[in-house]
Structure 1
Amino acid sequence: MPELDGQSLASTLEPILHHACRGHLGPVSWFKADWQHGGAGTGYATWRLKTSTGKTREIPCVVKMPIGYTEYFWTKRLGLIRPDEWDSPDSMSLPTPRVLAAGFELGGYDLAWIVMERFSNPPIAMERTDSALWAMFETAAEFHAAAILERAIEPERSPRAPNWARLIEDGREAVCNNAIPDAQQWDEWLAKTQRYLDDLTAMWQRRPIDTWCHHDLHPHNAMRRQIDDPNLHGHCTLIDLALIAPGCWIEDALYMERLFWGREDQLCGIDPLGTLTSTRRAIGLPANDDEIALADVRRVLMAASAPAFLRTEGDPVYLKAARTTLERLLPAFFG
């Protein structure tokens, strides 16, 4: 394969991509957004879609290539539909993007690519309402339900656990070597956590691995579909499926909760774990009290590891919230 970055490679292989799409794909405008961290080339285009009436119309779409196996598998499996189903109620209610075409080979290269719907609405994060965040958690529950029907849970595919001992030791070092607020309190609480760390990690390792978790759930990864009625909201959809892996369902809620530590007002009164609990139960998915009780274990581990990431997560507001969380929760386990 040529030694090119994702965008250059995508541009080079575009003629082959058009051939693979059998004339349905229009010209592609490739770009790399500021928020994009992966190596995929991404472009906007249009797709000539044959409707159920036999007519052809152009719809906006997004092209991504190359993409990794996880993103390819889940985006295609959860979103691929027949052209005549494009506007059906079931398709419009899918929890992930509708897919127009996809493949794992292009021009003789093992290279996964995908063409999927383009969202004209901004991310849920821009709405800044409790109803928008609630809709995101409804979709998260729908995603959990859809994923488990596509593939049985494979616990051995769970992400490797962080080295919590190393992270906390690195955090103590960072606290000592950097002028952060409440450094002495931080060091004391990290030392306490180290004394009980084996028990904490053992409790967390025993959590049930019962869900395909999104692992990157936040309001910027949730979009709404455009619908004809301007007085109604389109269905919420989760994007960026590259990190899906087995886990405990509470992990998706706790990941988002941590992102807003110190800025809980931006959650508009929504409690991530409580809301995901409610939305899962509403569609018949389990949300057991034993699993919910494990949330504080994960919160302690996340809070205690916060100083290890001073370079990327050194915001004083966030660090203060992490320390407060640690001080509040650790004594409940060990006094």
Structure 2
Amino acid sequence: MGGPEHKQAPRQDSHDLAIMLDPVLHAACDGQLSEIEWFKSAWQHGGAATGFAEWKFPDGRTTGVLVKLPIGPNEYRWTTLLGLCSAEQFSASHELPTPRMLAGGTELGGYDLAWFVIERFPGSPVTPEFSKPDGSRAVEELIDAAVEFHRRAGEIRPVDEKPRPHDWDKLLHRARENSKHHGLTDEQRWNEAVKKVQHRLDWLLSKWESRRIHTWCHGDLHPGNAMRRAGDSRARRGCTLLDLALVHAGHWVEDALYLERLYWGKVDLLHGVKPVSHMAKLRRERGLPCDDNYTELAMVRRVLMAACVPAFVEHEGHPKYTHAALELLEKSLPQLGH
């Protein structure tokens, strides 16, 4: 981002940086941005500063906005591509699956630093809705938003990048080591299950790496990254996906399985909704490609992900989750013909 005339942003706390650049930011917004209430959020992990403010349209209307800086190039690119709106477009863009963006840039105060002003969402993410008796609607709406994201992203930009590489061999080696040295329950079962995956790794990777790369995946699909716009009701499709920093080229089953994996240890919170099959159904309804072999692809990816769970035991080592992953691995691998 930026050119050689721009300086790197100073290395300091993002909140302090935001305070320092506040006057420059207001100038860049041509007087349409009110005073910003900067805050530090417990749920934010990206190191950016965020603040709430009001945005004034030329006709005098106002709307609540969120200001964020600094942001990475991927998040800036996709937020801009999918959501940048003029004053006239803002009200007519209520159905966008990503935040509407009112202002932004890749330079601020002479620094090579990306920032944006996006619509503010009331309330909290949809996570608590998953725990309600009728939580299946929230699950389905989240998947629906992901499919709409896939559709719109693909229309705006062809999938012209290679997928991210994964060193599955290294991850599986670490998984076996961790299963021996981190006191995992069912240590021997884990060791045997991962060893079987290692023996079939070449075949598994030949299947996975032959997948069609035809989707811009969100990359971080979970209910904590979804909110509802003001005025939305649960009677309509109202989920909006946030945090586009991990958007990448891939196959749509990656998003479906990312969501599924988070609930391996608490599958009841999906309320019987199967993310892969439900996403496939919605994609067919929208005329998006599904691929005849998507169930096998999903099974291959599921096996690889489950086998690598011990590799991340320091961060994702809840006994209920690791036990569910082990049972899924032992059940799924024999179902893959070889």
TM-score bracket, shorter-length normalisation: over 0.9
| Match 1:331 to one of 318, 322, 334 | 334
After TM superposition, the structure 1 = structure 2 runs for residues 31-180 of structure 1, keeping only pairs within 5 Å, are 31-50=39-58, 54=59, 56-88=60-92, 91-128=93-130, 129-156=135-162, 158-161=163-166, 163-180=167-184
Stretch deviating more after TM superposition (242-251 or 124-133)? 124-133
Q: Is the 8 A contact 1:99 1:114 kept in 2?
A: yes
The alpha-carbon distance between structure 1 residues 140 and 272, as it changes in their structure 2 partners (threshold 3 A), is same
User: Would you say the 8 A contact 1:124–1:133 is kept in 2?
Assistant: no
Q: How does 1:20-39 map to 2 (within 5 A)?
A: 20-39=28-47
AA aligned opposite 1:143: F
The share of aligned pairs that are identical, in percent, is 46
Structure 2 distance, partners of 1:141, 1:178, is 38
Deviation at 1:280, TM superposition (A): 1.2
Cα offset, 1:331, TM superposition:
1.4
Which residue of the other structure, out of 214, 222, 227, is the alignment partner of 1:223? 227
Q: 2:43 and 2:164 mapped to 1: Cα distance?
A: 23
Q: Which moved more, 1:241-250 or 1:145-154?
A: 145-154
1:274-293 to 2 correspondence within 5 Å? 274-293=277-296
Aligned twin of 1:14: 22
Give the CA deviation at 1:16.
Answer: 0.2
Report the secondary structure of 2:66's partner residue. strand
What is the one-letter code of the residue matched to 1:160? P
1:108–1:231 Cα change, 3 Å: closer
Q: Judge conservation of contact 2:14–2:49 (CA < 8 Å) in 1.
A: yes
Separation in structure 2 between the aligned mates of residue 49 and residue 127 of structure 1, nearest angstrom: 33
Runs of 4+ in structure 1 off by over 4 angstroms are 230-234
Q: After TM superposition, give the deviation of residue 332 of structure 1 in Å.
A: 2.0
- State the SS of the aligned residue for 1:256: helix
RMSD: 1.5
Higher alpha-carbon deviation: 4-13 or 319-328: 4-13
Specify whether residues 231 and 214 from structure 1 end up closer, same or farther in structure 2 by C-alpha distance, changes over 3 A only.
closer
Aligned partners of 1:231, 1:214: CA distance in 2, in Å? 23
Q: How many residues are aligned here?
A: 326
> Aligned-pair distance for 1:232?
4.5
The residue type equivalent to 1:152 in the other structure is P
CA distance in 2, matches of 1:300, 1:242: 26
Q: What residue identity is the alignment partner of 1:8?
A: D
Query: How far apart in 2 are the matches of 1:191 and 1:258?
Result: 21
What's the secondary structure of 1:110's corresponding residue?
strand
What is the identity, as a one-letter code, of the residue corresponding to 2:104? A
Cα deviation, residue 80, structure 1 = 1.1
Matched AA of 2:141:
A
Q: Following the alignment from structure 1 to structure 2, what is the Cα–Cα distance between the partners of residues 297 and 234? A: 31
State TM-score, norm by structure 2. 0.93
Contact 2:299 2:336 in 1 (8 A): no
Q: Which residue of 2 aligns with 1:299?
A: 302
The answer to whether the 8 Å contact 1:121/1:225 transfers is: no
How far apart, in 2, do the equivalents of 1:43 and 1:325 lie?
42
Flag the 1:170–1:19 CA change in 2: closer, same or farther, 3 A: same
Which range moves more in the overlay, 179-188 or 309-318?
179-188
- Aligned AA for 2:165? R
User: Residues 205, 231 of structure 1: CA spacing in aligned structure 2 closer, same or farther, 3 A cutoff?
Assistant: closer
**Native 8 Å contact 2:296 2:336 kept in 1:** no
Gaps of 5+ in 2: 1-8
> Does structure 1 conserve the Cα–Cα contact (< 8 Å) formed by 2:55 and 2:64?
yes
1:2-39, Cα deviation, whole Å (9 max, x unpaired): 22122221111010000000001111111221221112
Q: Distance in 1 between matches of 2:300 and 2:235?
A: 40
Question: Is the CA contact (8 Å cut-off) linking 1:208 and 1:291 kept in structure 2?
Answer: no
Contact 2:104/2:114 (8 A) holds in 1: yes
**Cα separation, 2, equivalents of 1:29 and 1:233:** 32
- Change over 3 Å in CA distance of 1:231–1:210 after alignment to 2: closer
